[in-house]
Chains A and B, each alone.
Chain A
Amino acid sequence: MSEDQNPAPEGQANPEQPAKKSRLRKWSRRAFIGAGAVAGGGLVLGVGGVILAPNRLKYLPAGAVDGDGQLNTWIRITPDNLVTAQIPHCEMGQGALTGLGMLLAEELDADWSLVEIRQAPAEDVYANGYIIHAFLGEVGFTPPAWLFRAMDFTAFKMADIFGIMTTGGSTSTRGTGAFGMRLAGASARAMLLEAGAERFGVPIEELTTSSSRVVHAASGQSATYGELAAAASALDLPRRPTLKSREQYQLVGTSQPRADIPSKVVGQAQYGIDVVVPDMLYAAIMRAPIPGGQLTSVDQAPALTVAGVTQVVVLPDAVAVVANGYWQAQQGLNALSPQFTDAGVGGVDSDAIHAMHVSALDAEPMEATLEGARTVSAEYRVPYLHHATMEPMCATARMAEGRLDVWCGTQDPLSTRGVAADAAEFEPESVTIHNQQLGGGFGRRLPGTYDYVEQAVHVARAVSPRPVKLIWSREEDMRHGYYRPCVHSRFRAALDARGRPLLWGNRFTGGFGDGSAATPHYAAEETDVQAVELPVHLRTGAWRSVAASQHGFFVESFVDELASAAGRDPFEYRRELLEEEPRHRAVLERAAEMADWGTRPPDGRARGIAMVESFGSIVAQVAEVGLDESGGIRVYRVDAAVDCGLVVNPQQAEAQIQGGVVFGLSAALFHEISVRDGAVVQRNFPDYDMVRLANAPWVNVSFVDSGAAIGGLGEPG
């Protein structure tokens, strides 16, 4: 244990930056991976943490872990032959817990009906990548490049650096699942096999595993995992467990019901807003309507006369009213007339914002086009968009006896803990995050967006030691999002005599990333794609599919312009430009085939085709579009072909694509966050409407198995 003395490489106490300290210290922990026994004779496999450097994980010798008190378990196998898996991701409807549990059970050869899945608590050792580092970090394992495609914007860079427990960027099934839960499952299986070999007195090579049993076919002997767990717990952990090849999968690739669904049809699933803590108060809040605005004055008296109101809490940029019920709190808030500054941007409106984008593009002209070649130009723009999760932002906090407890739904419990600790001026170790189910995430509950947690902690400080549940009204939620950026995109292409692009030029404003989402997969002699930096008026954040949603729309719209200029069919034109991209081409062809591209659509309808790659997955869709009785655009049918590599749970993968189509269609048909007098105009669903049953298209989904690694689904869908 001499490494105990090693200094942590970075992030150790820096007295001048207390706010940063909590987060940077995340990786200053060193962990020992090990296995051990639980009371009553079971096997646990996981990590025992001690404070050390993060990049030198060590294996514990057999028997060094006595019980799960010192071990944060990923897998527990008890004598009753039940397997419990701790999954370090949150469930927000994407089926991550079930899918990851399936990957673990597959490698373990566990009987799926005997597997129980739990969401891991907010502890460092469950952070994304920890399992991978634990097993493979010390042998210099480098995750393949595709894993990092998801890390192309701030939050994922943070994830990379701080090892946070994020569910976003379609990372859960791809990252933790493929490299973590599988390794954990395979390790436990290897130990159970070894225990079986000892028990039966036969060579380990003669044993097989199936349905949570170790079997020796030659002698007819077998034992359940539960029976072998105690013996297995005394064995050394395998250093590089053997993973199955895809051909050996029996569970993965079959449609399995999601573990969380039964509780969601009877009203028993507990979301952040449902948390009840004894003696709890309720709070409603109003923040400065204009971004950056500060509270200048508020007369508290009118709120205090509302029945049930107990207190008004004044924050630098907001006023909160605390009451015995949420409705009373909101009534109290409505009685107030707080005054806020306009942060110097009170004159900004959407027209001015768009004009600023146009000017920024004008200042970055594209190269002159080629002499004599035909040029095609186009310009597109998308507005700010809000996530509008069905569950408004909310959090419950209790600050008492030197500890802070926070109950909320978050896509990353660990960085939420950091935010809460900073707001409370506590050490992270004094903070417990009780993560709840999320009533939608879509990026709104990612790292960097925990303003609702921060506010709840500030209100909890004011009412300490009583707990308080802060709920945003829909209007507050609509006005204080982390919006998908407003983006303008300008194109110019030069075509050769056959209509193929010689030069593909693109300048776009704002947005996330380095422009990789804007880089076309279509062949062009030369591409010149550049982002133009621009200050943003509203807070921005990752929105389902991040940069791919706007650039997919831009690029595919422009390809249609080129096909039209070339006098070509949009499918055939794309297909020809994908000669060097067989995966993309196969997906495009599958979508066209599904939609009977080339046949005549029903009267009054037309078809369009498009293809987008994001998060390691390729999706091509054909949409059949017409006008409804009132002249509005109606999408009747969408045929979606998807290459996401290995499909873990097909029925859930299909649901992600179907949902993603609706999400994108809501944006295309209805959504715009606009700005007037510096503030967001939209207040509630009537002015930020959604696709409902009446305008939801029928979505056919087909998966193309290219043999590629697991791609994301929540985002590309």
Chain B
Amino acid sequence: MVELTLNGAAIQLDAAPGTPLLWAIREQAGLTGTKFGCGIGACGACTVHVDGRAVRSCSVPVESAAGRAVTTIEGLAASPEALHPVQQAWIEHQVPQCGYCQSGMIMAIAAFLETNPAPTDDELAAAITNICRCGTYQRIRNAVQSLGAAVVEEVRNV
């Protein structure tokens, strides 16, 4: 039994020791917005926040989150009416296609923008290595730019 804070609420997760945080979130807590992509931390689909930092939840055991504050895509918005700015930008710029990677993508970028609110394109690309198989990267850049980052023009070079 692991005790932690999940999306602001104290919770006990009844997961076997060693179970990745991902599967405890999905199966014990029943929050399926966090996705399984690769199981080895290579794609980022499972990204959540642990104490505000982006973590690939498939590759850390649930015990590592004991006593910490875990936020998933379901808990990113302050309320259903007040989406996080990254979520809002994703709708405005029509970013998702299949959408499977986007929970992790949004969580990774939301955490990154907390540390670097106006990244250059190189900084964004170096920090965000999540895979989107549908190839929505251009709209991701547009959406991040709309949040104050000056990322697009130097890449566009037109």
Where the two chains meet, the residues of A that have a C-beta atom closer than 8 Å to any C-beta of B are 92-95, 257-258, 260-262, 264-271, 273-274, 276, 282, 307-308, 325-328, 388-392, 437-442, 471, 473-474, 602, 636-637, 651-652, 655, 658-663, 666, 684-686, 690-694, 696, 698-700
Q: Is B117 close to A, CB under 8 A?
A: no
Q: Is B94 close to A, CB under 8 A?
A: yes
Q: Are A391 and B100 in contact (CB under 8 A)?
A: yes
The total of interchain contacts (Cβ-Cβ below 8 angstroms) comes to: 190
Q: Is B30 close to A, CB under 8 A?
A: yes
Interface centre among B36, B72, B106, B129 (most CB of A within 10 A): B36
Which residues of chain B come closer than 8 Å to A693, judged between CB atoms? Answer: 124-125, 128-130, 137, 140-141
In chain B, residues 1-45, which have Cβ atoms closer than 8 Å to a Cβ of chain A? 15-16, 19-20, 23, 27, 30-40, 42-43, 45
Bound complex: CA A153 to CA B23 (Å): 40
Which residues of chain B come closer than 8 Å to A602, judged between CB atoms? Answer: 157
Which single member of A267, A326, A388, A659 contacts B97 (CB below 8 Å)? Answer: A659
Closest A residue, CB atoms, query B42? A685
Which residues of chain B come closer than 8 Å to A267, judged between CB atoms? Answer: 31-34, 72-74, 103
Closest A-B pairs by Cβ, 5 of them? A267-B33, A662-B135, A93-B97, A439-B100, A264-B99
Which residues of chain B come closer than 8 Å to A660, judged between CB atoms? Answer: 135
Which residues of chain A come closer than 8 Å to B37, judged between CB atoms? Answer: 390-392, 474
Q: Is B136 close to A, CB under 8 A?
A: yes
Q: Are A698 and B156 in contact (CB under 8 A)?
A: yes
Closest B residue, CB atoms, query A659? B135
Which single member of B27, B34, B129 contacts A694 (CB below 8 Å)? Answer: B129
Which single member of B42, B94, B99, B106 contacts A651 (CB below 8 Å)? Answer: B94
Q: Is B70 close to A, CB under 8 A?
A: no
A and B contact pairs by CB, cutoff 8 A, 27 listed:
A92-B97, A95-B97, A260-B96, A260-B99, A266-B76, A273-B36, A276-B32, A328-B19, A390-B133, A392-B36, A440-B100, A473-B39, A474-B39, A636-B155, A658-B135, A658-B139, A659-B134, A662-B135, A662-B137, A663-B135, A684-B39, A685-B40, A685-B131, A692-B125, A693-B137, A694-B126, A698-B155
For B53-93 the 0/1 string (1 means CB < 8 A from A) is 00000000000000000001110110010010001001100
Closest CB-CB distance, A332 to chain B, in whole Å? Answer: 12
Which residues of chain A come closer than 8 Å to B40, judged between CB atoms? Answer: 474, 684-686
Closest CB-CB distance, B47 to chain A, in whole Å? Answer: 12
Interface of B is mostly: loop
Closest CB-CB distance, A178 to chain B, in whole Å? Answer: 22
Which residues of chain B come closer than 8 Å to A691, judged between CB atoms? Answer: 135, 137
Which single member of A93, A325, A328 contacts B99 (CB below 8 Å)? Answer: A93
Which single member of A265, A328, A666, A684 contacts B102 (CB below 8 Å)? Answer: A265
Q: Are B106 and A265 in contact (CB under 8 A)?
A: yes
Q: Are B158 and A265 in contact (CB under 8 A)?
A: no
Q: Are B43 and A685 in contact (CB under 8 A)?
A: yes
Q: Is B116 close to A, CB under 8 A?
A: no
Which single member of A94, A95, A390 contacts B100 (CB below 8 Å)? Answer: A390
Q: Are A390 and B16 in contact (CB under 8 A)?
A: no
Which single member of B15, B27, B138 contacts A658 (CB below 8 Å)? Answer: B138
Closest B residue, CB atoms, query A438? B98
A261 and B137 in contact, given A651-B94, A686-B42, A694-B129 (Cβ under 8 angstroms): no
Which residues of chain A come closer than 8 Å to B27, judged between CB atoms? Answer: 282, 325-326
Q: Are A328 and B16 in contact (CB under 8 A)?
A: yes
Q: Are A266 and B74 in contact (CB under 8 A)?
A: yes
Other than A692-B137, A696-B135, give 4 A-B pairs with Cβ distance below 8 A.
A325-B15, A390-B43, A652-B94, A655-B139
Bound complex: CA A693 to CA B30 (Å): 31
Q: Is B50 close to A, CB under 8 A?
A: no
Which residues of chain A come closer than 8 Å to B87, judged between CB atoms? Answer: 265-266
Bound complex: CA A94 to CA B136 (Å): 12
Q: Are A390 and B45 in contact (CB under 8 A)?
A: yes
Which residues of chain B come closer than 8 Å to A655, judged between CB atoms? Answer: 94, 97, 136, 139
Which residues of chain B come closer than 8 Å to A698, judged between CB atoms? Answer: 138, 152, 155-158
Closest CB-CB distance, A306 to chain B, in whole Å? Answer: 9
Which residues of chain B come closer than 8 Å to A92, judged between CB atoms? Answer: 97-98
Which single member of A276, A439, A699 contacts B98 (CB below 8 Å)? Answer: A439
